[in-house]
Structure formats: structure tokens, C-alpha cells
Amino acid sequence: MKSLVIRSHAPTRIDLAGGTVDLWPLYLFLKNPVTMNVAIDLYAEAELRTTSGNEIVLKTIDQGTESRHTWEELLSDQESEGIAPGLQLHYKLLRYFARWRVESGQPLSSWNNGLVLSTQAKSPAGAGLGGSSTLSVALVGALANWAKWGNGEASQNGIDPIRDGEQLVEIVRDVETTVIQVPAGVQDYYGAMFGGLQSLRWNAGSHKREWLPDSALAGLEDRLLLFYSGQSRNSGINNWALFKAFIDGESSVRSKFGRIAEAAGRLDAALRKQDWELSADAIADEWSVRRTLAPGISTPEIDRAFQSASSAAKSERIAGKVCGAGGGGCVFMFVPSGNEELKNKVRDAFLAEGMRQLPLKTCAKGLEVQVSRA
């Protein structure tokens, strides 16, 4: 019997405006909350390959971490504390779908193979690009298809991200939350699952997701630059502090989140019209508020790079912000004119501060899965 091989990949995202408001229940207290993000080609990749025997091998290629288990161990109530942090998601998501197979009528006694589940990520660790959530989406794409193939279904009846994406987002959100141990927002999962340039509006009972036109996606790509500070950050810690302050009723925090949501709404309208100057205004306004939410969201190096880029631009308009929760990670810059000379000046300002440019392409598609026999 040939091995079943399932390969999946999902794009990370740049959160253009409105991050953190996607945390439940924060958006319920805000007027017209919206998050804007764009998928980029720093992919997270997963591969699942069935093997003979009963052994489960979990691997992270980029981190060089590996662990070995049995189905009996995985399906038991044994917790995953002894597993390396980089493999917690692998273990818990595999357990979820393995239990789903058992509950759907496939007893363990009928399984006749082990598997190797491996991942790698192109995004630097702690970059603020939603890498952990993107990895979860790549994993769930491979594992959901494996669960359906275990039922003997043909490949054309496998998981369709567009049809099944909302349900898969709920799964990865809940499972990842048990790993990071703090509330998880959902914009990262939407970026990875669906791709494109998205407007995400958070409503009671349901959310409204829209792709902006491909022309807006292409125009945005021509105006974006992405830099990695070299400083990894923990979004869970930063977001939890802001979440707690909001829920505790700190009026200044709630007011600032209202202004962030308003700026994100203006960015939505500007991008739909492909008005790049108004887009820059909205991004700049969002960052001017976000950087004051808590100490450490920006860093001295990032502040100096922003100042140098602004000085180099002189009277020409530029904007940008830290990606994710801040405290390091990545910074994106937006040059509304798309002028290559100006983009080079901005690039030089960030490189002078020791930051690394990350070349990018925007991605119209999100999660993609290929199933084969080898």
C-alpha cells in the first residue's frame, strides 16, 4: 500500500489596521469594529505522510525538534506538558482529529498505519505576522483531509477551505488557545484560511468577511515594505495585558480602541476606493494611537527607523506600523505614491538600524492542500 501524502501551506498576514479588536468580547463594546489584513507569501507548511507500524512522529523542520508517540498515548487523557513547546500544536490538533475519527466510527483497532507530521515556517519566530496561527491553519488543512481519507472518501470530497473554512477556524482558535493559555483573536486564522486583502467586521453572533478587489491587492503590494527588527516578541503577553485593561474598564484603553477601530474603518473605505493617500492617513492614525496603548509596543530602534524614514521622505507621505502586538517583531511601511526612489530611501533608513527587509508578495489565496499517494 502506498503512503498517503498530504501537503498544505497557508500564508501569514500583515495586519494593516484594527488588530486586537478581534478578541472576543472586546469587539462587542466597540462601534463598527473592523480589522484589515493582507495575506503574504511567508508561508507555513505542513506535510502528513502515513507509514507502516504504529508510531507517530512529530517534527518542526525549522526548529529541529522531534517527538515520538503511539496512538494509544495520543488518544489517552495524557496531557502534553512534556512535549516541546514547538510541538504542542501538532500534538493537540492531531489528537483532536484522531478522536474525531474514533467518534465517527473508526475504532483504533481498524487503523493500520502510523504517520509523520512535519512543519516548517518561512516567517521568523515572533515576527508579529500571525505565524503560530498560520501554522495551525496549515496543520488543520492536512489533518482534516487525513481524517476524511481515513473514512475512505475520495480526494475530491476532502476539505475545501472556502466551504469549510469557518468551521476550521473555530477548531484552530479553540485548540491554539489551550496552547498559548490566553484569549486568541481570530483575524490571523482568517488571513491564513482565506488569503487576499480582507475586511473583517466583527458582529454579535456572526462576522462579515469580504475580499477587496484584486486590483486593490496588487496596488497595495506595490506600496508595501516589510522589515524584521530581529527582536522576537510574545503577542499573547501583550494582548493579554490590553485585554485585561479593557475588561477592567480602563477608560483610556477603551477610548483608544475606539479610535483604532475608527481608523481601521477609514482604511477599509480608502482601500476600496484605492485612494492611497487616505489609506496612508488611516494607517498613520491607527499607529499613532496603538503605540500609546502600553509601554514597549514600539522600541527605540523602531522609533529611530521611523524618524529616519520620515526625514528622508521630506514632504512626501509615508506611513507604517508595527505588526501584531508590538514589542519587536516586524514593521511594515506604506508608500502611497509607490515611487521606487522613495521606497529605497525608506529601505535604507530601516537597514541602517540593523533591520532586515523581508521580500514579499501578496497572496490572493489562503490555505491550499494537495493529497497524493507515494
CATH number of the domain at 57, please.
Answer: 3.30.230.10
Q: Are residues 349 and 368 in the same domain?
A: no
Same domain, 163 and 21: yes
- CATH number, domain of 260, equals 3.30.70.890
Count how many domains the chain has.
2
| 329 shares its domain with 293 | yes
Q: Is residue 272 part of a domain?
A: yes
Confirm whether 209 is domain-assigned: no
Contacts for 138 with CB less than 8 Å, ≥ 6 apart: 8, 9, 10, 43, 44, 45, 46, 119, 192, 367
| Domain identity same for 37 and 144 | yes
CA distances from 80 to 56, 66, 114, 177 (A): 14, 14, 19, 14
Amino acid at position 103, single letter:
E
Q: Is residue 205 part of a domain?
A: no
Instruction: Note whether 154 and 232 are same-domain residues.
Output: no
In a domain, 206, yes or no: no
Q: Are 347 and 367 in the same domain?
A: no
Residue pLDDT tens, the chain, 374 long: 688 899 999 999 999 999 999 999 999 999 999 999 999 999 999 999 999 888 999 999 988 999 999 998 898 887 766 788 889 999 999 999 999 999 988 888 888 789 999 999 999 888 899 999 999 999 999 999 998 876 555 444 567 777 888 999 999 999 998 888 877 789 999 999 999 999 999 999 889 999 999 999 999 999 999 999 887 665 555 777 888 888 888 889 999 999 999 999 999 999 999 999 999 999 999 999 999 988 778 888 899 999 999 998 888 999 999 998 777 789 999 999 999 999 999 999 999 999 999 999 999 999 999 998 88
Are 97 and 144 in the same domain? yes
Residue 265 sits in which domain range?
214-357
In a domain, 246, yes or no: yes
Is residue 67 located within the same domain as residue 102? yes
Residue 139 lies in a domain: yes
**CA 165/CA 331 separation, integer angstroms:** 28
